[in-house]
Structures are given as structure tokens and as C-alpha cells.
Amino acid sequence: MTIATDRHTETSPATTEAAGPLTGFTVVDLSRALAGPHAGMMMADLGARVIKVENPGHGDDTRGWGPPFVGPEDNPQATYFLSCNRNKESIALDLKSDDGNQVLTGLIRRADVLIENFRPGVLDRLGFDAARLHELNPGLVILSITGFGHDGPESHRSGYDQILQGEAGLMSLTGSGPDDPQRVGVPIADLLSGMYGAYGALAALMERERTGRGQVVRTSLLAAMVGVHAFQGTRATVAGQVPQAQGNHHPSIAPYGLFSCRGGKVQISVGSEKLWAAFSKAFGIDGSRPEFATNADRVNNRALVIEEVERAFATYGAETLLEKLDDAGIPAGKVRSLDEVYAWGQVKSQGLLVDVEHQVLGKVTLPGPPLRFFNPASAEETTRRTHQAPPMLDADGKTIRAWLAGAEEAD
């Protein structure tokens, strides 16, 4: 049997024109909601052919998550679904039926990566445990994302983003103070578990080049949240402190945060003693006084620092203040609303907005992929330039079935 590592350079009859480092690879995406679909979209953005397998009738749950919905009243489209499914194909399969089982088996044989975010054991009960998957395709990389992990005393629990933000401590670090826990404004546990999963799958593909065999890559929303505790984690594990929310000011650097000025607010980051000297000189602050002499002193006297900085900022409007900060070499910025972000020339210059043609909505603009690629030999950017809209349910079912039938004949 030819394993996937020998097949990934074949030309697939995908309905989308792809370009990127994963061109020629095929991903079967059994996941729903956000964590798994985000991982699949990342791979699609890199040029992989991503086949999204959905339940017949209603498809991925996110097709019904709204408002907002856009489009005609008799065929509304959820903007949530549009956020995490670009550059994919869709096929509707009842995985409990003989037909669904047969088609999925065919897809597994042809795939390089399979993504799933069922609860532990669900895929096994459908007849596709890891041993069976690797019997069908020894080179298959299986990306499995759960809520609380694949084993352990609470592995059976359903994983939803905000629940994991709380359970994994992130909400205790976010908010105006210890008594005001807040969720992050995007589903960060879902997004980060998808990102960790995607890079784990790519690492497994690289190892497959050496070994010829795939493996199972496991992550979870819990793991993703603990994985980004960063310096807050070592404050707890090494220093024995219990970090708490403290609003818009950095717990270990001062001044670093959101400060009021005349008629507005700005953010500054004074992350070194050199910057502090430049900042205090520019704004007439006695930076050498004992309470401000070192970063540790400023952190310990944060309230005094904030008071002094905001007193210095009080006569400046936000735009004038930002110009002065820039002249002094101080990292600074404003707090933009999303409409301001998407109208910003810098965002557009980085390819962070893409136009796609949707089957129902026509031309729509989506937030785009965050990676760019450049070939120094040719001095040309090799980033994918064309993108496809998220698919309608089962839009590619006939094409995929025909491809599988032809692939079976060829084998």
C-alpha cells in the first residue's frame, strides 16, 4: 500500500486554486465550532486542500450561531461561520450510515491530515479509532482537540471557550481587578488550541518525511490556556505568587498600560531604563526620584507612577500626545475599534483583508491570514493571493465523491 507521504505531491482535483507551502496536501476536517475549524483554515490558507465534513441538514453548528446573519431572509448566512472556514470545500456525510462510513474511509485513504474535536471516544465508537485510521493510511497525521484533555479525571467534560478561560485561570488575570473577572473579547481558548494543533500537525508531517508514518497529535483548550500563561505562570510556580487581574497596567513593567489624556486615552510601553530616561525627560518628570529610580521601584509604586504620568498627559489631546511620544521614541498607540482597524492603511498593506466571492452573498471582505512568505532568491513574495469564500453546505459533495471514485479506480 502506498502511504500518504508518497502521495502528497499529486495534483488533486480541488475546486479551489491554491498556492503555498502546503499545496498538494489534503486535510480532512471532521471538526466543528471553532478550535478545529480554525486549525483547518490555517492549513487551507497555506495551500492545503481542506475538505470539511459536515452533518447533513444543518452542517457545522456555527452555521446557526447568530445574529448577526447576512444575506436573504430565506437563506441567511452566519458571520461566525464565515470567520473560520475560508478556502475549504464542504461535503455532508452521516457518519453513522454505511454511505457516510464508506466515503469517509475513502477520504482517510487519500488524506495527509485528519482533524477532529469530538469528545474522547466518539470517533472510536464510529469505527475510526487511531489504530483503524492508521490501518487505512499509515502516513495519516491525526489532529485531535478536546476540551480538558484526552485522559485524566475530567477528560469527559465538554469544552467551551469561556468555561475554559475560567477553569484555566485566564479570567482571573483579566479585568479591572481581582473581583472583576472578565473573558477575553474573542474565543481565545478555541483559537489558540487550533493554532497549537495546526503547528503540531505540521511538525508531525515533517517527522513523517523521515519515518514514513503518521501519528496522533493531541491538544486541548485547557492545554492551550495553560500554555499561554507565560510570565504569569512562572510568577505562580517559581515565585509563589498568585497573579490577579489589575486592569490595563502591566504587572511587571511600569509605566506600561492605558493612560488618560485630554479628551481620550493612549497606551504606552516604557520597557527599559533607557526608555524611562527618554520618557521622563520628554514630559518633565523627575525620573531619578527614589520611587521611580528602577523598574522595580516603579512597579512597587505603580499608583504614584500612573498619577504622575496622567498629570503630564493632561494638557495633550490624544493625537498630539501620540506624535510627541513618537518623537521621543516611546512605543505608544491608540485603542481602535474594529471598523477603524479594518480601515487602517497599515492593516491593508499587510494583506490582512481578503475579498472573496460568496455563493449567496456575492463579494464580501474577510479578515485574512496573518502569515506572509517571501523568496529571497527571486525577491518575490510567494504568499497566497487568491482566496475562496467559506463553502455552502455540501457544495462540493459531488466533486469529492467523483474524485474518490476516480482515485479508487487508479489504485
For 28-73, the pLDDT digits (tens) are 999 999 999 999 999 999 999 999 999 999 999 999 999 999 999 9
Task: Evaluate the CA torsion angle 295, 300, 306, 307 in order and state its sign.
Answer: negative
Q: Please tell me the distance from the alpha carbon of residue 351 to that of residue 359, in angstroms, as a whole number.
A: 23
- Tell me the three cell numbers of residue 41: 483554515
Q: Which residues contact 44 (CB under 8 A, 6 or more apart)?
A: 18, 27, 50, 86, 87, 88
Do the domains at 4-228+359-410 and 256-333 have one common CATH topology? Answer: no
Query: Is 10's pLDDT higher than 50?
Result: no
256-333 to CATH, choices 3.40.50.1100, 3.40.30.10, 3.30.70.580, 3.30.1540.10: 3.30.1540.10
Query: Contact, 35 vs 194, CB < 8 A?
Result: yes
Helical H segments across 128-178, by residue range: 130-136, 161-167, 170-173
Candidates 29, 45, 60, 190; catalytic one: 190
Query: What DSSP designation does 30 have?
Result: -
pLDDT at residue number 411? 64
The stretch 193-198 carries a mean pLDDT of: 98
Is 94 noted as a catalytic residue in this protein?
no
Which of the four pLDDT bands, split at 50, 70 and 90, describes residue 1? very low
Closest CA to 144 of 8, 23, 28, 6: 28
**Residue-range domain boundaries for the chain:** 4-228+359-410, 256-333
Query: Is 4's pLDDT higher than 60?
Result: no
Query: Contact, 30 vs 116, CB < 8 A?
Result: yes
Region 4-228+359-410: CATH code = 3.40.50.10540
pLDDT at residue number 409? 67
Q: Please tell me the distance from the alpha carbon of residue 226 to that of residue 88, in angstroms, as a whole number.
A: 30
pLDDT at residue number 121? 87
Residue 401 burial (10 A CB sphere; 0-12, 13-18, 19+):
middle
pLDDT digits (tens, 9 = 90+) for 105-114: 999 999 999 9
Which of the four pLDDT bands, split at 50, 70 and 90, describes residue 18? low
The stretch 2-27 carries a mean pLDDT of: 62
Closest CA to 193 of 388, 9, 36, 21: 36
